[in-house]
Structure 1
Amino acid sequence: METQTKQDGRPYTPARPGIGELGRDTASGRVGVVMGEIGGRVQMRPVQGGIEWDAMPDNVVALRAREELSARLAVKNHNSRLGV
């Protein structure tokens, strides 16, 4: 993962996404929707649906604009192929 900095040179730390928002589990590299938090772990579900996985809260970060656009476009393309 590339290090981001603000305009003044300080490191940029992405905020953790809220429930229903897209996020990335930095430990696994997977992108998913934040479903909730139970027992000190964040539950995430793949963007296109599927089985939830647990992530450590410190490992879940918000997507950058480019990453979010890419994830949403992948879902649209997948649905289009299925005729949805």
Structure 2
Amino acid sequence: MTVEVGTLVLDAQTNRLGYVMGHVGPNMQLRPVAGGREWDADPTHVRPATSEERLAAIRERNRALNSASSGGIL
């Protein structure tokens, strides 16, 4: 399956949500929702995120942004 760069997907092997950053060889490179280091994912185990998963990703990203803007103090 070919998924466009920027699409939010679920890597079923790791049960992690990530944004497609690119394709190298047989793998997709995914970046975590809240940022961080990319990981390689087998495209046969990747699918587009559901509406519920997209909402969870927005909440996770907002938590990370809020934490960073407050200096990490909750």
TM-score, normalising length from structure 2? 0.82
> Secondary structure of the equivalent of 1:19?
coil
Is 1:54 the counterpart of 2:40? The answer is yes
Percent identical among aligned pairs is: 34
1:1-84 to structure 2, matched below 5 A, reads 17-83=3-69
- Gaps (5+ residues) in structure 2? none
TM-score, normalising length from structure 1? 0.74
Name whichever structure is richer in strand by fraction: 2
Query: Once superposed, what is the RMSD of the aligned Cα atoms?
Result: 1.7
> Secondary structure of the equivalent of 2:14?
coil
Does the aligned pair in 2 maintain the 1:35–1:45 contact within 8 Å?
yes
Name whichever structure is richer in helix by fraction: 2
Divergent runs of 4+, >6 A: none
| Larger Rg belongs to | 1
How many residues of Structure 1 are paired with residues of Structure 2 in the alignment? Answer: 70
